[in-house]
């Protein structure tokens, strides 16, 4: 399948899902967040990823995120939509909803909870690919789904035409580097890193770009890193990447206080967006713990240290 996603490149933030105090989707805040990201020059938007807290949303809320977000984007950049779930039947339903609302492509992890083997992962992707006529980007994030999509599985699915690329959040830098080399001569294969601290290195190694959760907080900074590498300004890219590494300290605030990693990371992004005036609250999906006043104060300090407030 020849698709626009085969040429997808650049910075594509996995858009956070703002919530009201009643734990509903905050549509006006989501609209402002989309505008904030587009104004920063991002190259695409990824709704319903891990940073979107998709696993904590109801099907109705998932659809609302797509409806509001895609409408707010107004066709300015490509839109990819996460469709991951525990089983193939549910994933196909999510995929059809995403297609209905105008997503340009889909993002799919291995099924979670039951820990499928590699053959079952391929069968899962094959069934979804056959059910919906949209290109699929595989998403390797074993820390959340418990099963890694092995490099040879990725290549086999690409050969079969089941996927047009990969978002790699595996933390396996060796596998990522080998995959970058093995797909360098495949112009229709898009390889993205989810590692916020290594965007400059990944793009230099041949990645198409990055899907950084921290890109919600400082999308312009990540665009500057990408643009600098593309322009050959490696020193400029390194300096900007090092500033973003300092910003990443905001994610560790909750962890230092005993919070779960997911609550600390997603809470940090939302707290920073609230402090920057983009969204109304830092409410996270239940049962995750919200950043409190003291953690928010420390988050403000991190933002100030890198020039964001």
> What amino acid positions are annotated as catalytic residues?
139, 167
* Cross-strand partners of 11: 210
Structure tokens at 78: 């490509």
Q: At CA 116, angle to CA 113 and CA 117, rounded to 5?
A: 155
* Cross-strand partners of 166: 138, 191
Structure tokens at 175: 């596998």
- Exposure string of 109-141, with b = 16+ CB inside 10 Å and e = fewer, is bbbbeeebeeeebbebbeebbebbebbbbbbbb
The Cα–Cα gap between 81 and 205 comes to: 26
Tell the residue number behind the tokens 């928010």, with chain if given: 296
Q: What is the DSSP string of 277-300?
A: TSSS-----TTSPPP-HHHHHHHH
* Cross-strand partners of 107: 82, 137
The Cα–Cα gap between 144 and 7 comes to: 27
Q: Of the candidates 256, 260, 271, which has an alpha carbon nearest to the alpha carbon of residue 309?
A: 271
């Amino acid at each position: 399948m020849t698709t626009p996603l085969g040429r997808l490149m650049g910075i594509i933030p996995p858009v956070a899902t703002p919530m009201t105090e009643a734990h509903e989707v905050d549509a006006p805040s989501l609209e402002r967040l989309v505008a904030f990201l587009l104004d920063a020059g991002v190259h695409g938007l990824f709704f319903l990823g891990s940073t979107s807290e998709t696993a904590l949303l109801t099907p109705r809320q998932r659809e609302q995120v797509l409806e509001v977000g895609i409408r707010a984007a107004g066709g300015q950049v490509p839109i990819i939509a996460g469709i991951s779930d525990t089983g193939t039947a549910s994933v196909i339903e999510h995929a059809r909803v995403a297609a209905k609302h105008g997503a340009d492509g889909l993002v799919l992890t291995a099924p979670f909870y039951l820990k499928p083997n590699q053959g079952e992962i391929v069968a899962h992707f094959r069934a979804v690919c056959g059910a919906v006529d949209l290109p699929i980007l595989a998403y390797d994030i074993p820390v959340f789904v418990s099963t890694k999509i092995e490099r040879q599985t990725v290549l086999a699915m690409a050969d079969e035409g089941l996927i047009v690329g990969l978002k790699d959040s595996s933390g396996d830098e060796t596998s990522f580097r080998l995959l970058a080399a093995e797909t360098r001569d495949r112009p229709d294969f898009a390889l993205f890193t989810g590692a916020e601290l290594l965007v400059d290195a990944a793009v230099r190694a041949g990645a198409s770009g990055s899907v950084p959760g921290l890109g919600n907080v400082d999308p312009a900074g990540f665009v500057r890193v990408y643009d600098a590498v593309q322009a050959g300004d490696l020193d400029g890219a390194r300096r900007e990447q090092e500033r973003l590494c300092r910003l990443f300290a905001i994610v560790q605030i909750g962890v230092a206080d005993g919070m779960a990693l997911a609550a600390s990371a997603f809470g940090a992004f939302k707290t920073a967006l609230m402090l920057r005036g983009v969204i109304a609250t830092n409410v996270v999906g239940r049962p995750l713990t919200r950043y409190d006043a003291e953690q928010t104060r420390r988050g403000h300090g991190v933002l100030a240290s890198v020039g964001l407030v």
